[in-house]
Amino acid sequence: MVSARVNDMAAAAYAGWLREDATLEEMRTGFDGMCPEPAADATLTEGVVGGVRGTWVEVPESGGAGSSATILHFHAGGYLIGSPTSHRDLGARIARAAGARVFLADYRLAPEHAFPAAHEDGVAAYRGMLADGVDPASLVVSGDSAGGGLALAVLAAARDAGDPLPAAGVLMSPWADLTLSGDSMDGREAVDPLVSRAVLTEMQQGYLQGADPTDHRASPLLGNLAGLPPLLVQVGSSEVLEDDAVRIADGVLRAAGEAFLQVGYEMVHVFQMFADRLPEGAAAIDRIGAFVRARVRSAATV
């Protein structure tokens, strides 16, 4: 179930642009415009990492260039919409909670740039961080929704290539199975006010454009989950994508890895983006901050 409070908030936030007749440009503009501005003390700086453009987000508490942690974040949007603009507030809140500087990667979007463009950009941005001298022991890879799936795929690619792995990964409402095979895809559809199988099918088709949805670069949940850095996985109990999060955590644990699953009761898709309106979203970001701080410290002592 979703409480009336959360349902009304989500409906108001998405009203006007998440319509069946909305054009892709209307959706992109609407998604960017829906999201709040970051706090006045947040510093936003355009940058390029590994050839991928993006936005650096820092707050006074994140310590600037000498910050103890650097977070590479991949935004939501089903690989079709979303941008650093849509995620500036989320980035600033995570930066503050984690004592980190955050790079919001502006990876290429479909349908202009079909699969595997986003994956290629994600891997390039990660390797760019390493090439720029970021200590992997102070690096965290994160993402929300499709960006959560992309973050998981980037971690798997780094492992497979023998690249140094980051201290941790953070996944918020990850979409990591583009075959849409999770039980919650149908079991939660009646209570999810934001996401549905139909919406995800359109996004899947727009991104893959005929490519195999079982390809592990698109659906990392279906691949090898062993040998990954510790993961924090957050999801709402009222999401069609709940099962993606549960299966990621379960798969990592079965592969003898570390994964921590946090389920927000009656929370909706990427409820952390509504931290200005939902205390539960703000609390989830605080938990992300605590996880990042602890993992960066522990990795640095190894």
Classify strands 231-236 and 139-144 as parallel, antiparallel or unpaired: unpaired
CA-to-CA distance for 163 and 148, rounded, in angstroms? 20
Q: In the prediction, which pLDDT does 255 show?
A: 98
pLDDT at 62: 60
Calculate ∠ Cα 109-114-120, nearest 5°: 75
Instruction: Give mean pLDDT, residues 150-165.
Output: 98
Helix (H, G, I), strand (E, B) or coil at 268: coil
Q: Give me 156's structure tokens.
A: 């798997």
**What is the average pLDDT value for the chain, to the nearest integer?**
94
Q: List the structure tokens of 197.
A: 């199988």
Sort strands 52-58 and 69-74 into parallel, antiparallel or unpaired. unpaired
- The three-class DSSP label of residue 245 is helix
Whole-number percent of the chain with pLDDT over 90: 85
More confident residue, 51 or 66: 51
Tokens of 60: 């006074």
What pLDDT score was predicted for residue 297? 78
Closest CA to 99 of 73, 76, 71: 71
- Using pLDDT thresholds of 50, 70 and 90, give the confidence band for residue 66: very low
Tell me whether residue 120 is one of the annotated catalytic residues.
no
181 as an active site residue: the answer is no
Render pLDDT for 239-292 as a digit per residue (tens, 0 to 9). 999 999 999 999 999 999 999 999 999 999 999 999 999 999 999 999 999 999
Of the listed 119, 138, 269, 280, which one is catalytic? 269
Give the per-residue pLDDT at 42.
96
Q: How far apart are CA 50 and CA 58, in angstroms?
A: 20
Catalytic entry in 67, 86, 145, 219: 145
pLDDT over 70 percentage in the chain: 95
What distance in Å separates the CA atoms of residue 223 and residue 58, rounded to the nearest whole number? 34
Which two structure tokens, joined as six digits, stand for 100? 């980190």
Residues in the chain: 302
DSSP state string for 156-197: HHHHHHTPPP-SEEEEES----TT---THHHHTTTT-SS--H
Q: Is 64 left (phi over 0), alpha (psi -120 to 50) or beta?
A: left
CB 285 within 8 A of CB 102: no
Known active-site residue 20:
no
Query: How buried is 235 (Cβ within 10 angstroms: 0-12 exposed, 13-18 middle, 19+ buried)?
Result: buried
Q: How confident is the model at residue 64 (pLDDT cuts 50, 70, 90)?
A: very low
pLDDT at 61 over 80: no
Question: What are φ and ψ of residue 46, in 5° steps?
Answer: -65, 145
